[in-house]
Amino acid sequence: MTDQLPDAIVAGPKGPALDLLHIVQINEEIKSVVAVAFKINIMALNAIFLAKRAGTAALGFGVLSNELRSFSSQLRETMLSLNALIHASVDGVSAMLQDSRYNDILERAVVLASKNKHLQEVIEQRENATDQFRSKLSGLRRALRSSVDDAYRLVELGGVLAKSAKIEAAYGAGFSSSLSQVSGEFDGIVEEIRTSLDTLRKSSFFRG
Amino acid sequence: MKTTQTIFQDGDHKWLAIVRDPAKADFLIDTNEYLITHGGQGMLLDPGGLEIFPAVFSAVATEFDPSAISAIFASHQDPDVISSLALWLEFNPQLRCHVSWMWSGFIPHFGGVASTFAPIPDEGMTISLAGLSLQAVPAHYLHSSGNHNLYDRTAKMFFSGDIGAALLPADQQGLFVKDFSTHIRHAEGFHRRWMGSNEAKHQWCSRVSQLDIDMLCPQHGAIYQGEDVQRFINWFDSLQVGVLRA
Ligand SMILES: [Fe+2]
Ligand SMILES: [Fe+2]
């Protein structure tokens, strides 16, 4: 036995294993966005309540709070559909990982038993199956990418709402400082989600 | 690549031993695979792990058409015994895997569907290979709790799975036991530590002593033949097993 690590371990994951690593990272990022989307919903409810107390001085803020609340529920829905796509992708990538492991071993067998026709046929059949896996996965990759883009656009809209709420807060008379605080928090959180989604859009998974 | 040696032959009734791969990584325990052929069909005994599938497959293919392997006999559930199952099934999805009923729900984690598995009851059973009767002989707790050996009465050949296994040094890789007393030193630690029950061991020794055996073929190490078969059984009968420190 040797103390040196095999090249494959030193080099780290590649192929479907690397895809699996990326998709797991995407999944973690999305989980954190979903958790934040929940927070926005509660914050919007509080803002609506605050706007009611401020009365006519915060009419504009009230309207925006309602918009932010509907934004948060839209965001949650988008995230749920992203989740479904993520699960399908994790499933697809895991299947590819097992498939490529078996292919590697069978290819090693064909090198040693090059004359065996049936083995060649088995490998050819597997290639067809591998192609199917691959095209299903690239469909999922595209769907996931466009879903992340949709979510990103939605969040940009959320950012505009949060910024407008910040402006409206200034007209809140005696409630101005608490309205500013709430709208500032909105803005911060929407920005946090936007950064997360931007990271997701750059994931190497979409370049695979 | 492994080498294939014919260790019994009577017409197309053969026992092939698939052994010793110089290219195998040291950290994998070395295994012996056996192929029984009869009437144009083959049964592979303990086909081995996923990693060594290419070496086993190619060695088999030099002597016998792998598509004619209709059955696998798995002595027990260990990865060095049966983790290559999924790949053999790729090759022949109709393949049947004979294994203790205890593992027929566990081994599918390596591959296979419900119809792949032919469960062997605790008391053993007769398994037919193109009309040749093979006897699954109980060897429970030696070491696996659901464990069988395979006896070919016609050929007087006995596949003993992990029983009789030896971890041989690099310079003593002969296929047959030459000098029993030297050889058995490489088997002692393994049997003390891996085998779990003195009672089960005693029963196995009585059962197997009654069989007419020319060769006792383990999954690791070297094959015992002639007088060495009974010598091994006697040695094993008097060995204290289930010992944490050998
Ligand atoms: Fe074992
Ligand atoms: Fe073993």
Q: Give the confidence band of B38 by pLDDT, cuts at 50, 70, 90.
A: very high
Q: What's the confidence (pLDDT) of residue A1?
A: 44
**B101: CATH:** 3.60.15.10
- Does residue B131 or residue A6 have the better pLDDT? B131
Tell me how far the alpha carbon of residue B67 lies from the centroid of ligand 2, in angstroms: 25
Q: Does residue B176 fall inside a structural domain?
A: yes
pLDDT, tens digit, 9 for 90 and up, residues A3-47:
566 665 666 777 788 888 888 788 888 888 877 877 888 888 888
Given CB atoms, is B1 within the 8 Å cutoff of chain A? yes
Question: What does the DSSP 8-state code read for residue B30?
Answer: P
Given CB atoms, is B12 within the 8 Å cutoff of chain A? no
- Could you give the ipTM of this predicted complex? 0.76
Distance CA B200, CA B148 (A): 12
User: Cβ separation of A109 and B54 shorter than 8 Å?
Assistant: yes
pLDDT greater than 80 at residue A202: yes
Q: What's the confidence (pLDDT) of residue A73?
A: 87
pLDDT, tens digit, 9 for 90 and up, residues A183-200:
898 899 999 999 989 988
**A167: CATH:** 1.20.1270
Nearest Cα residue in chain B from A116 = B61
Tell me how far the alpha carbon of residue B142 lies from the centroid of ligand 1, in angstroms: 9
Identify the nearest ligand to the CA of B103 by its number: 1
For residue B57, give the 3-state DSSP assignment. helix
pLDDT, tens digit, 9 for 90 and up, residues B176-212:
999 999 999 999 999 999 999 999 999 999 999 999 9
Question: What does the DSSP 8-state code read for residue B159?
Answer: E
Chain A CB contacts of B57 under 8 Å are 109, 112-113, 119
- What is the pLDDT averaged over residues B48-56? 92
Smallest Cα–Cα separation from A162: which of A141, A117, A134, A192? A192
Around Cβ A204, how many Cβ atoms within 10 Å?
A: 11
Q: What's the confidence (pLDDT) of residue B191?
A: 97
User: Cβ separation of A109 and B90 shorter than 8 Å?
Assistant: no
Q: Give the confidence band of A88 by pLDDT, cuts at 50, 70, 90.
A: confident
User: Cβ separation of A109 and B27 shorter than 8 Å?
Assistant: no
Chain A CB contacts of B62 under 8 Å are 113
Chain A CB contacts of B66 under 8 Å are 116, 118-119
- What is the pLDDT averaged over residues A107-131? 90
Q: How many domains does chain B have?
A: 1
- Does residue A77 or residue A6 have the better pLDDT? A77
Given CB atoms, is A109 within the 8 Å cutoff of chain B? yes
Q: Does residue A4 fall inside a structural domain?
A: no
Smallest Cα–Cα separation from B116: which of B95, B140, B143? B95
Between the alpha carbon of residue B120 and those of residues A25, B88, B99, B103, B114, the distances in Å are 45, 20, 6, 10, 14
Q: What's the confidence (pLDDT) of residue A8?
A: 58
From B50, B58, B86, residue closest to A112, measured CB to CB: B58
Strand order across the B148-152 sheet: B125-129, B132-138, B148-152, B157-161, B215-218, B224-225
What is the domain range of residue A129?
13-207
Q: Give the confidence band of B98 by pLDDT, cuts at 50, 70, 90.
A: very high
Distance CA A34, CA A80 (A): 8
Q: Does residue A25 fall inside a structural domain?
A: yes
% of chain A exceeding 70 in pLDDT: 94
Least confident of A7-21, B39-53, B187-201, B217-231: A7-21
Are B187 and B228 a contacting pair, CB within 8 Å?
Answer: no
Least confident of A7-11, B20-24, B139-143: A7-11
Q: Which of B90, B94, B95, B110 to mutate to test the interface with A (most CBs of A within 10 A)?
A: B90
Smallest Cα–Cα separation from B159: which of B237, B214, B100, B95? B214
pLDDT greater than 90 at residue A173: no
Q: Does residue A7 fall inside a structural domain?
A: no
pLDDT, tens digit, 9 for 90 and up, residues B113-130:
999 999 999 999 999 999
**What's the gap in Å between the CA of A122 and the closest CA on chain B?**
6
User: Cβ separation of A119 and B27 shorter than 8 Å?
Assistant: no
From A102, A113, A116, residue closest to B87, measured CB to CB: A102
The per-residue b/e assignment along B118-134, b for 16 or more CB within 10 angstroms, e otherwise, is: bebeeebbebebbebeb
What is the domain range of residue B148?
4-238
Distance CA B246, CA B244 (A): 6
CB pairs under 8 A between A and B: 45
Given CB atoms, is A112 within the 8 Å cutoff of chain B? yes
User: Cβ separation of B1 and A112 shorter than 8 Å?
Assistant: yes
User: Cβ separation of B53 and A118 shorter than 8 Å?
Assistant: no
Q: Does residue B245 fall inside a structural domain?
A: no
Q: What's the confidence (pLDDT) of residue A7?
A: 67
Q: Does residue A128 fall inside a structural domain?
A: yes
CB-based contacts of A180: which residues, under 8 Å, 6+ apart?
Answer: A166, A169, A170, A172
Q: Does residue B78 fall inside a structural domain?
A: yes
Residue type, A182: V
User: Cβ separation of B61 and A108 shorter than 8 Å?
Assistant: no
Q: What's the confidence (pLDDT) of residue A99?
A: 87
Q: How many domains does chain A have?
A: 1
Nearest Cα residue in chain B from A103 = B87
Q: What's the confidence (pLDDT) of residue B112?
A: 93
